[in-house]
């Protein structure tokens, strides 16, 4: 029985090392990748292009602006690489419809959608309408200088700050 106990403890220790190493690897390399940052002239409406360089889906949990303020409106544009994004404070107008505005909780950012990958495809002329891109659209009653995104990935929570100016 002593040999079996020793193997059990060694197995538990190895599992703990593997899980700890995986956790450290993921935490040290967050999957959310921020690309394009654009705003309206008054900086009260912004879009932050983002993608996922990980291998599982990313879900946005919460968005705040500036000094942890709740924005007036927040949506995710699910567009394509050829169309791009639109900067607007009216997500429901007919001109905004083609940009696929969706509620945060309804969008899972797919793996392999890093903005740098799309920029490369655009440069090479290989981008298509099937290349899905994600833009976080935020509207606030005062100028926005930073967007704080809290998101989950593989059961872990991450924070990312996009500086706009």
pLDDT at 87 over 90: yes
Q: Where are the domains of the chain?
A: 1-30, 31-163
3 band by pLDDT with thresholds 50, 70 and 90: confident
Residue written as tokens 């193997």?
7
Instruction: Name the residue among 112, 115, 157, 155 with its Cα closest to residue 136.
Output: 115
Average pLDDT of span 129-135: 87
pLDDT at 114 over 90: no
Q: Which helix (H) or strand (E) holds 117?
A: helix 115-124
Whether the CB-CB separation of 145 and 134 falls below 8 Å is answered with no
Average pLDDT of span 5-13: 84
The tens digit of pLDDT for each residue in 46-63 reads 999 999 999 899 999 999
CATH of domain 31-163: 2.60.40
């Amino acid at each position: 029985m002593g040999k079996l106990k020793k193997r059990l403890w060694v197995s538990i220790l190895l599992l703990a090392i593997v899980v700890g190493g995986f956790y450290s690897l993921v935490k040290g390399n967050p999957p959310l990748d921020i690309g394009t940052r654009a705003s309206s002239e008054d900086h009260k409406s912004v879009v932050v292009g983002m993608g996922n360089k990980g291998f599982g889906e990313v879900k946005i949990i919460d968005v705040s602006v500036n000094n942890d303020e709740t924005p007036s409106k927040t949506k995710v544009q699910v567009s394509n690489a050829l169309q791009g994004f639109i900067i607007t404070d009216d997500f429901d107008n007919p001109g905004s419809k083609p940009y696929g505005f969706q509620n945060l909780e309804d969008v899972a950012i797919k793996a392999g959608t890093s903005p740098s990958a799309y920029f490369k495809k655009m440069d090479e002329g290989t981008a298509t309408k099937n290349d899905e891109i994600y833009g976080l659209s935020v509207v606030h009653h005062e100028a926005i200088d930073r967007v704080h995104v809290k998101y989950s990935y593989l059961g872990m929570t991450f924070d990312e700050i996009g500086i706009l100016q």
